[in-house]
Amino acid sequence: MKFYNNRPFIYKTLMIVLAFQIFSCHTAFHEKWTKEKAPEYFKATFETTKGNFEIEAKRTWSPYAVDRLYQLIHKGFYTNIAIFRVIPDFVAQFGIHNDSIKTNAWNKFKVPDEPVIESNLKATIAFARSTPGTRTNQIFINLKDNIRLDTLNYSKVKGFPVVAKVIKGMDIVETFYNGYEDELDNKQDSIHDLGNKYLKKNYPKLDYIIKAYITDKKKN
């Protein structure tokens, strides 16, 4: 009777299983996350390469979108996110994840359009969008009073509803690197496909959201 050494096969199998587990954890996403309702009020801290800023959000400002903002922060989406579009005296925008699988997963679940309740004043935050029903992951911080965004008719949708406000650290937000201005707006596909490696090679001065987390909330 002969015995065969199966250790190489067992080793390879274990490595495949381990790699699958690591990959699954890295890209984990559950549709139920998109159905989580935000508290009526919450605060969150964003750690960035320039320092921290703190926001507050009220669900009454834009219920569906505040729900999404809470979901994204609560589930750690805003981690190592490039602040890729900073236009002086206008906005600072971010929300494309380094992992395209995560971006794609959240992008499948669009946030319904809603009316503007709060005005787009300096330090307020709103979701970026293009055509109707396209709010997903990207948000921008108003760097000045952008009241025209309250009523701007763009692609048959009126206005950009405010979802949150920076209540501490706006001085940090105003120091985000703005030398590239709007250059990367037309290169979002490259950011999505190639991630931070592409940005750090070609746009090394960009600032990043290191991580964001909920710090306080009021129960519904």
Confidence (pLDDT) at 12 = 54
31 located within any domain: no
Is residue 19 over pLDDT 50? no
Q: Is the pTM of this model over 0.85?
A: yes
Predicted pLDDT at 220: 59
pLDDT at residue 27, rounded to an integer: 56
**Residue 155 region by backbone torsions, left for phi larger than 0, else alpha for psi between -120 and 50, else beta:** left
Q: pLDDT tens digits for 158-190? A: 999 999 999 999 999 999 999 999 999 999 999
Residue 216 has pLDDT above 90, yes or no: yes
Q: What is the CATH number of the domain that holds 210?
A: 2.40.100.10
pLDDT for position 152: 95
User: 71 vs 6, which has greater pLDDT?
Assistant: 71
Residue whose pair of structure tokens reads 């709007």 in the numeric block: 182
Q: Residue 39: is its pLDDT beyond 90?
A: yes
- Mean pLDDT in residue range 5-11: 51
Mean pLDDT calculated for residue range 185-213:
97
Domains contained in the chain, number:
1
Whether 116 shows a pLDDT value over 50: the answer reads yes
Residue 17 lies in a domain: no
- Please report whether residue 85 resides in a domain: yes
With respect to residue 7, please indicate whether it lies within any of the assigned structural domains.
Answer: no
| Structural domain includes residue 23 | no
Q: Between 24 and 201, whose confidence is greater?
A: 201
Q: Tell me if 117 is assigned to some domain.
A: yes
Quickly tell me which residue has 């990367």 as its tokens.
Answer: 184
For residues 112 and 101, what is the distance between their CA atoms, to the nearest angstrom? 22
d(CA 82, CA 177): 11
Residue 19 belongs to some domain of the structure: no
Domain that holds residue 149: 41-218
How much is the pLDDT for 74?
Answer: 97
pLDDT digit string, tens, across residues 127-161: 999 999 999 999 999 999 999 999 999 888 999 99
Strand segments (E) across 62-136? 81-82, 85-87, 91-94, 124-127
CB contact at 8 A, 179 and 54: no
pLDDT tier at 77 (50, 70, 90 boundaries)? very high
CA nearest to 80, candidates 203, 201, 198, 195: 195
Question: Is 56 a domain residue?
Answer: yes
Tokens read off for 111:
């946030």
